[in-house]
Structure 1
Amino acid sequence: MKLILLNKPYNVMCQFSDHPSRPTLADYIKIPNIYPAGRLDADSEGLILLTDNGQLQHSISHPDHKQAKTYLVQVEGIPTTDQLKTLSAPLNLGDFTTQACVAKHILEPDWLWPRNPPIRHREDIPTSWLCIILSEGKNRQVRRMTAAVGLPTLRLIRTSIGNFSLASHPLLPGESMAVSM
């Protein structure tokens, strides 16, 4: 059984099949019969787990297993205490209500790699960083949550899934490593 950690770069599709205009996981992982356990949007970066074991893939990605996922989020604006409370509580996004989560204002991590292309910079609008820890992961959930409280997401980086993290396994974008289970 194989388990691979990959730091998925920005603009990479979370699939192995060809895409007409973007790179895919196949451009970074050359191991046959391995599949992602969960997904990240092309415009998100960070930790992806890949495995050749269907049972392990299910236990990592299925919502019933509630693997905590940590995201670093650069947002437009400076969060207020009320915005952080609203993010942390169950939040109605229209088609579903999120579960309670952890949402806190943090300093920009000093270990963070630059994004290519860089985030747009506007002199009159400050940006800040949040750490959001979810036990669910619906499509574009973090982006929708921050937008709902008036803090549009500019950059989204998943740093951990369950016990696996980029903090304990430092990888630059595009780098991967096998881990033992």
Structure 2
Amino acid sequence: MGVTWVFEAEQTAKSVERLLESIGGDLHGTFIVDVTPFNPPTPSSDYPSNVVMHHSKCPQSTFSICPKDTFKKSPKAVCDRGFDLILSKLSSGLIADNAGKIEIIGNEYSLYKDWMIRVGTATQGTTVKGVVVEIEYDPSIIVIQCKDMMIEFVKSVFNKYHETLPEIFKITEKPESYTALDTMWQYLGIATKLRKKT
């Protein structure tokens, strides 16, 4: 997984897909991301919620984040899919909030061999909450190497959204490696906003 930028788009998924096809994007396949909150039986500041996520790009992995103010302060882990089975045994401490689960399902497009763009419709239950776009630049995993080029890409292709930089772009000053957890943190932020939409 390369460096990724995830944002909510104002257009429909179809209009974003048509835009990508018009600039040479090739349909590569489909993708799915799910974001499920697990909450303590009684709300407590001592025991925060835990969010469990999956991404079809990493089919054997489960991502777990206990969200705090920032990515750096949030406890997080990458586990194998067996983690989901363990969570079911912890039902006295954490209960899945299935009503709060967000699923993002859509298509993947490859562009110029170096870029992978995923466009998906976000749903909560049967309610459509919005459209999410994930732009991945595959050749590098060093954030500061990709930041300016990704900003230019978003600016030229979408003509907006370039000012809503991911947190990782703002806080990274040294050549740090990008991980799949950085992508999932972006999805978590978007899912949190989408849950509040009516």
Q: Please, what TM-score do these two structures have when normalized by structure 2?
A: 0.29
Bigger helix fraction: 2
Q: Please, what TM-score do these two structures have when normalized by structure 1?
A: 0.31
